Structure 1
Amino acid sequence: MLWIFASASASLRLRANADRPLTRMLSWFRQIVSAVAYMHSKGFIHRDLKPSNILFADIDHLKICDLGLATEIAMQDGREISMTRTSIGTKLYWAPEQTCYKYTSKVDIFSLGLILIEIIVYMDDVQRKVAFKNYSNGMPEPLLEHQHLLSDLLKRLSTPDEPKNRPNCETILEELQEYGNLRFFGEDSAPYSASEYGSWSQLSNDGANSESSGL
Structure 2
Amino acid sequence: MWQFTETLGEGAYGEVVLAKNVNTNEFAAVKVIDINRLKGNDVVIRKEIDLHKLFRHENIIRFYGYKQQYSNYYLFLEYASGGELFDKIEPDVGMPEYLAQHYFKQVVAGMAYLHSLGVAHRDLKPENLLIANNNVLKICDFGLATLFRSQTTKEERKLTTYCGTAPYSSPEVWAKTPYRGEPVDVWSCGIILTAMLTGELPWDQPSYQNPEYKRWLDRDYYHNPWKKIDNMILNLLRRILIHDPGQRAKVNDIQSHRWISKVYPQDGTESDHQLLKRMAYSDPSEHLVHRMTRVVLAISFDETIYLLNRLFVHTGYTPKRTAGNQITVVTQDKRHTELIFKVNVFKIPDSKIMADFRLSKGDGIEFKRKFVEIRDRLVQLATAWSNGGGGSAYFNHSDTSSTLTAGNNSVNQLQEAMDT
Q: TM-score, normalised by structure 2?
A: 0.39
Task: Identify the match of residue 87 of structure 2 among 9, 14, 19.
Answer: 14
- Determine helix, strand or coil for the equivalent of 1:14: helix
Letter in 2 for 1:118: A
Task: Identify the match of residue 107 of structure 1 among 162, 180, 184.
Answer: 184
Alignment of 1:181-200 (within 5 A): 181=261
Q: Determine what percentage of the aligned residue pairs are the same residue.
A: 28
1:93 aligns with 168
What is the CA–CA distance in structure 1 between the aligned matches of 2:261 and 2:187, rounded to whole Å? 25
Give, in angstroms, the shift of residue 117 of structure 1: 0.5
Q: Which has the larger radius of gyration?
A: 2
2:240 aligns with 157
2:204 aligns with 133
1:118 aligns with 2:189: no
Residue by residue, what CA displacement relative to the aligned partner does 1:9-32 show, whole Å, maximum 9, x if unpaired?
477242663362211111101100
Q: TM-score, normalised by structure 1?
A: 0.71
More helix by share: 1
- Determine helix, strand or coil for the equivalent of 1:63: strand
1:29 aligns with 2:92: no
Letter in 1 for 2:259: Y
1:173 aligns with 255
Contact 1:45 1:72 in 2 (8 A): yes
Contact 2:168 2:191 in 1 (8 A): yes
Runs of 4+ off more than 4 Å:
78-82, 180-183, 185-189
2:116 aligns with 41
Matched pairs, number: 183
What is the CA–CA distance in structure 1 between the aligned matches of 2:161 and 2:155, rounded to whole Å? 18
Residue by residue, what CA displacement relative to the aligned partner does 1:166-192 show, whole Å, maximum 9, x if unpaired?
1111221111xx225555x89999xxx
1:207 aligns with 2:370: no
Query: What are the ranges of 5 or more consecutive residues in structure 2 without an aligned counterpart?
Result: 1-7, 10-16, 19-28, 32-82, 270-332, 340-361, 365-420
- Determine helix, strand or coil for the equivalent of 2:132: strand
Letter in 2 for 1:154: L
Contact 1:84 1:102 in 2 (8 A): yes
Give, in angstroms, the shift of residue 69 of structure 1: 1.3
Compared with structure 1, are the counterparts of its residues 172 and 79 closer, same or farther at alpha carbon in structure 2 (3 Å cutoff)? farther
What is the CA–CA distance in structure 1 between the aligned matches of 2:134 and 2:265, rounded to whole Å? 24
More strand by share: 2
Residue by residue, what CA displacement relative to the aligned partner does 1:94-152 show, whole Å, maximum 9, x if unpaired?
111113241112011111110011111123xxxx3xx2236554432633445112101
- Kindly report the root-mean-square deviation, in angstroms, between the aligned alpha carbons of the 2 structures: 3.2
What is the CA–CA distance in structure 2 between the aligned matches of 1:64 and 1:25, rounded to whole Å? 15
Q: Which stretch has the larger CA shift, 96-105 or 15-24?
A: 15-24
Contact 2:204 2:335 in 1 (8 A): no
Letter in 2 for 1:85: T
Identify the structure with bigger relative contact order (alpha carbons < 8 Å, sequence gap 6+).
Answer: 1
Contact 1:82 1:102 in 2 (8 A): no
Query: What are the ranges of 5 or more consecutive residues in structure 1 without an aligned counterpart?
Result: 190-205
